[in-house]
A and B are shown apart, each in its own frame.
Chain A
Amino acid sequence: MIYASTKLHENSGDSGAKVFVDNTGKRRKLVVLSGVCAAVGAVIYISAVVAGLVQSPQIELTTKGTVSTSPSGSTR
């Protein structure tokens, strides 16, 4: 058996220059923030739709339609 000593041939090694890797963590925070914003937007949208259904359960009108005793049409 041959025993070899070796090292990664890239200059970067583990210094963090691997593709995509962001050692500062800024991009991760940005992704988390974007995800939270997207989720908030989604919740707002769903809430708006649900609120339209739930918060207006009354059919009663505040201003009611009436027919006058002396309209321009003929009343019966």
Chain B
Amino acid sequence: MAVYQSEKKPQPSPPVRRIKAPQPRWIVFAVLISLFASILLVNGLVQGEFTQDGAIESTAETSNVPAEALTGGPIIQTDGTTTSTVSAGAKQIVLTFDDGPDPEYTPEILEVLAEYDVPATFFMIGSEIAKYPDLVQQVVDEGHEIGIHTFTHPELSGKNDWRRTVEMRETQLALAGAAGVTSVIFRPPYSSTVAALDDTNWSVIAEMGEAGYLTVVNDLDSRDWESGVTNADIVEAVTPDDGEGAILLFHDGGGDRSNTAAALRTVIPALLEQGYTFTTVAALSGMDTVNPAATTDERVLGLSLVGAVQIAKNTTTWFAALLIGFGVLTIARLGLMLVLGWRHARRSKQAGVWGAPYTRPVTVVVPAYNEKECIADTVRSLAASTHPVRIIVVDDGSTDGTAEIAESLGFPNVTVIWQPNAGKPAALNTGIAAADTDVVVMMDGDTVFEPDTVRLLVQPFADARIGAVAGNAKVANRTGLIALWQHIEYVVGFSIDRRAYDVMQCMATVPGAIGAFRREALRQVDGLSDDTLAEDTDLTIAIIRAGWRVVYEEQARAWTEAPTTVRQLWKQRYRWSYGTMQAMWKHRRALTDKGASGKFGRRGLLNLLLFQTLMPLLSPLIDVFLIYGLFFLDPVETAIAWLAMLAVQMISTVYAFRLDKESLRPVWLVPLQQFVYRQLMYLVLIQSVLAAIGGIRLGWQKLNRAGGLSALMTSGPRK
């Protein structure tokens, strides 16, 4: 790299690069989020605990119930005006099972039925049919009957017409999709015997009768749903008096049915021994079958319903597992970071930890591009340094007189170099080439140092192993929500994360706002590269891979102006996250390297990949899952889990603020951060990932600066 005198030539204005956020990208994103929400909605509906919907008490009002029904058998046909019923004949038994299919209990029951070669009727829940279609097919294949027991097991008399229709039709579709059949028999949820018929449940039975259903209630309840019930209790409950026939009620789903199969092994032989025969609803009512074949339309719609439920069930299961895994990893990482941060803080308190004080002069390189608002403050702050410094301002083709402002300040130790616009890495390389000290400090043209900053920053170079030192960048303009949120982010990021990375020797970024480098290290890695948009990350990783140690010096503070609008923040973070991913990809071979490079790869790169890329990408889905939890899981448990995570975050934030001796006042904004700032950050990341995968070229984005950092530092929020 050569630096030489040349004529200043007029430069064309730098190309204006706009970040494009094509609308289709966000439409696809919205559609995919809607898909995930739909999947969770479907899953929530079919996984809902149907016992939550309690049965209503039977009333004494029976004025609308026909006498034929009140005194008749448990198989009821009605068209609203005429009613017929059928009872099981003498010594005839119909075994019925409600609330299945269930992956555990239904196969056990089928095994017992096959063993004794007796038929049964399964009144199935539509949502369970859609979840376990293979079991439904097995029930049909083994010659048993299937009845409709609604889709979600609600008390139908309390539901409107639309809901009742959906409950019945969706169950029919699920049945058609699972086994290619429909059903003409129905059992209302929470039904009992004909003695329990009243005006309320009769309205449902009459409606179903008009639609063509036979309603099947029971004669004897096995009570297998009661806790503590024994086999003997069940046998006694289902044995009819005086050899009468009966429709028996058992359950193969909806709760703990572990007694049912075992009880059947006692009940069936006992009834057979007493001369009973086992029959079906079809046989009792005189039909060929209660499960006629479904039409093609019903099968197609049924298959799509079953497919949708299967996708929902599997997706939710996998996502929940992923969420638990990431949750555990996040907590573990946070715990580790806090411990390592504490260790770093202890180390920092030790005097002379790096050896003898480093007193040799250093060069401070200030790259600047159109920084007329800030450059004077920046240079003045450096000129007031308590450490001997030579200041090199490299004006990277500014058109606003930045170089002239720096020159006009008249400080003897300031050199101003003007170069055609070539980008920040090139400007820094120019400054490095012009430097003649062992240590080069780099900063941004919109940043202000404290008088002691340089002195504190360069102390670690007393140790010959140190290749670079990261300082503590702080937000100066802490007014407004966006700036305050960034302040919180900076404090946590520097006060905990960078301390931990220092101890773990995996610091991926010495920030461009404040960093010091051994010139020998810079020479080894050939200076800064413009391969990526995060030249500071790229450089830091290169230095670590070259075998140098990179540390963090929290007392060396630099004050910077944070973006104050969403648009500016978006631009900045778009570049940062895109650039970081570029640097990660560029240095991906560190993962398999040996020595310091490999150590960094397996710690630093994996940390960036897992916690700063993959997990934030899942954040939109986590937000949707939280809403799902509030509606379909236990809302209290969901809220507690969310609040617990927030509390952990608050605690670590408070700890970070304490370590950095910052006022705790902004910490109350952390909960609010969850609702706007976090979403903004993950949307930026999604855009960056799409840009990276799509191979889109991004350029530098010049941020608008208000200036006046020195004034902010004196009147601002410092301790």
Q: Using a CB–CB distance below 8 Å, which chain A residues touch chain B?
A: 1-10, 12, 17-28, 30-32, 35-36, 38-39, 41-43, 45-46, 48-49, 51-53, 55-76
Contact = CB atoms under 8 A, between A and B. Distances in A.
Contacts of B526: 9
A69 to B, nearest CB: 8
Interface in B106-132: none
Given A2-B417, A59-B169, A8 B697 contact: no
B3 A20 contact: no
Contacts of A60: 211-212
Given A63-B184, A65-B290, A73 B305 contact: no
A2 to B, nearest CB: 5
B430 A52 contact: no
A39 B693 contact: no
Contacts of A63: 182, 184, 212, 292
A42 B527 contact: no
A52 B407 contact: no
A18 B213 CA distance: 70
Nearest to A69: B286
B307 A36 contact: no
Contacts of B165: 57-59
Nearest to B582: A19
A25 B696 CA distance: 8
Given A35-B24, A75-B84, A66 B286 contact: yes
B212 A49 contact: no
Contacts of B295: 62
A72 B117 CA distance: 19
What bracket does the count of chain B residues touching chain A fall in?
Answer: 35 or more
A59 to B, nearest CB: 5
B301 interface: yes
B35 interface: yes
Interface in B4-37: 4-8, 24-25, 27-28, 31-32, 34-35
Contact of B305 (A52, A61, A76): A52
Nearest to B211: A59
A65 B305 contact: no
B584 to A, nearest CB: 9
Contacts, number: 245
The 9 closest A-B CB pairs, nearest first, are A68-B286, A22-B695, A64-B212, A61-B212, A65-B184, A42-B35, A73-B284, A65-B214, A71-B286
21 contacts: A2-B3, A4-B3, A6-B429, A9-B429, A9-B526, A19-B532, A22-B694, A25-B695, A42-B31, A45-B38, A59-B169, A60-B212, A65-B184, A65-B213, A66-B285, A66-B286, A72-B92, A73-B88, A73-B279, A74-B86, A74-B88
B697 A6 contact: no
Interface in B201-223: 207-208, 211-214
Contacts of B585: 19-20
B311 A45 contact: yes
Contacts of B287: 65-66, 68
A46 B173 CA distance: 17
Contacts of A9: 1, 426, 429, 526-527, 529
Given A6-B426, A75-B84, A39 B407 contact: no
Interface string B293-334: 001000001001101100100000000000000000000000
Interface of B: 1-8, 24-25, 27-28, 31-32, 34-35, 38-39, 42, 68, 71-73, 75, 77, 84-89, 92, 164-166, 168-170, 172-173, 182, 184-185, 207-208, 211-214, 245, 279, 283-287, 290, 292, 295, 301, 304-305, 307-308, 311, 394, 403, 407, 415-420, 422-423, 425-426, 429-430, 434, 526-527, 529-532, 578, 581-583, 585-586, 690-697
Contact of B39 (A4, A45, A53, A57): A45
A43 B430 CA distance: 54
Given A52-B304, A73-B245, 10 more contacts: A8-B530, A57-B169, A63-B182, A64-B184, A67-B214, A72-B283, A73-B285, A74-B245, A75-B73, A76-B84
Nearest to B22: A32
B283 to A, nearest CB: 5
A76 B304 CA distance: 42
A24 B88 CA distance: 77
A3 B5 contact: yes
Given A5-B4, A42-B35, A72 B284 contact: yes
Given A5-B419, A48-B304, A76-B84, A66 B426 contact: no
Contacts of A5: 2, 4, 6, 419-420
A27 B695 contact: yes
Q: Which of B31, B88, B214, B290 has the most chain A CB atoms inside 10 A of its CB?
A: B31
A75 B169 contact: no
Nearest to A20: B692
A5 to B, nearest CB: 5
B170 to A, nearest CB: 6
A61 B530 contact: no
Contact of B28 (A39, A61, A74): A39
Nearest to B526: A9
Contact of A48 (B169, B307, B416, B691): B307
A48 B170 CA distance: 12
A43 B169 CA distance: 23
A24 B27 CA distance: 25
A48 B35 CA distance: 12
A2 B211 contact: no
Contact of B419 (A3, A20, A28, A76): A3
A10 B429 CA distance: 12
B28 A66 contact: no
Contacts of A58: 165, 169
B171 to A, nearest CB: 11
Contacts of B527: 9
A70 B285 CA distance: 8
Contacts of A2: 3, 5, 415-418, 434
A20 B582 contact: yes
A30 B190 CA distance: 54
A74 B696 contact: no
A11 B573 CA distance: 28
